[in-house]
Amino acid sequence: MATTAPAAHRCSYEDYEATADWLRSQTEQRPKVAIICGSGLGGLAALLDNRVVIPYKDIPNFPQTTVEGHQGQLVFGTLEGQQCVCMQGRFHTYEGYDVYQVTYPVRVFSLLGVRTLVVTNAAGGLNSSFSVGDIMLIKDHINMPGLVGNNPLCGPNDDRFGVRFPCMSDAYDRDLLALAQQTAEGQGIGAFVHQGVYCMVGGPTFESIAEGRALRTMGADAVGMSTALEVVVARHCGLRVLGFSLITNMVVTDYDSTLKANHAEVLDTTLMRTQDLQGLVRGILAQMPVDPEDL
């Protein structure tokens, strides 16, 4: 039977603007920092003062979350003097969304005036020196969907957002990375905070043993099903990016192992580290220099 590929949800500049205008009409807050909360990490939004909560179902053009551990609302508020917006729940391609839908909020944030994107995720550890519960500061990524042509920048380029061929060798801001490492050490949690390479795969399957081994050989320290697409779009429109992976499980790479990755374990581990992660994000935002363009 012949099948037709679903139409891509590629959006116009005016669609993004309509969403940004609508959000501006709902709150007087004008965030400079956006935080995307990964699986089970929505608790980060509790850090914000003067919260204004807007469910995704009310926001024009916004997709809806379908995954346990992703609440589905934007939370505006202030953290350590920085105006922020938190995405409590992100979108993944395995939910059936295309790369344009998954990254839709990032361009909206940019139009709202956001200058810095903090991405967080739950990820499987590939680096054998990592343990469950460790935090990996993302220093680089392998964008597997993008490498095979499923990149949110495919299609006509809109120069109002950014250039046709953006550079990704500087995707993760080195100054913010150093600040995050220093803050972790200052808070006495440096022993379980590492730097590493995040690999995005499509999911929703967890890795086979051969896949886990292959990803490790490619140079990935952790693997998940999100983040890289959001970062590509953020860098295209000039946002600074800081990324964290919480290592919620170790990827099975041994045929003698009886361990099996599962989402319940992922969510349990996020609970165990919520407080450390919140403390770290608070500490970083307290010291994060305001973008000179905002002065």
Ligand X SMILES: Nc1nc2[nH]cnc2c(=O)[nH]1
Site size for ligand R1P (CB under 6 A): 13
Per CB under 6 A, 63 contacts ligand R1P: no
Per CB under 6 A, 38 contacts ligand R1P: yes
Site size for ligand X (CB under 6 A): 15
Q: How far is the CB of 112 from ligand R1P (least distance, A)?
A: 22
Q: Which is nearer to ligand X, 83 or 269 (CB)?
A: 269
Among 121, 127, 143, 183, binds ligand R1P (CB under 6 A): 121
Residues with a catalytic annotation lie at 39, 70, 92, 94-95, 122, 225-226, 249, 263
Which of ligand X, ligand R1P, none interacts with 132 (beta carbon under 5 to 8 A by kind)? none
Residues 28-67 interacting with ligand X (rule: CB under 6 A):
none
Identify the bridge partners of residue 32 per DSSP, sorted by sequence position: none
Cα 233 to Cα 110: distance, rounded to the nearest angstrom: 10
Q: Where are the beta strands (DSSP E) in the chain?
A: 33-37, 49-55, 73-79, 82-88, 116-125, 135-143, 193-200, 222-224, 240-250
Cβ contact 74:59 at 8 Å: yes
Residues 173-212 interacting with ligand X (rule: CB under 6 A):
201, 203, 206-207
Identify the bridge partners of residue 74 per DSSP, sorted by sequence position: 54, 87
Cα dist. 242→19, 34, 63, 171, 284 in Å? 24, 10, 24, 9, 10
Residues 224-263 interacting with ligand X (rule: CB under 6 A):
224-225, 248-249, 251, 261
Per CB under 6 A, 122 contacts ligand R1P: yes
Cβ-proximal residues to 226 (8 Å cutoff; 6+ apart), any chain = 38, 90, 92, 102, 121, 200
Among 16, 42, 90, 161, binds ligand R1P (CB under 6 A): 90
Cα dist. 228→76, 126, 209, 247 in Å? 23, 17, 23, 16
Closest CA to 190 of 278, 79, 276: 276
Q: Which is nearer to ligand X, 8 or 259 (CB)?
A: 259
Residues lying near ligand X in the complex (CB under 6 A) are found at 122-124, 201, 203, 206-207, 223-225, 248-249, 251, 261, 266
Residues lying near ligand R1P in the complex (CB under 6 A) are found at 38-39, 67, 90, 92, 121-122, 203, 224-226, 263, 266
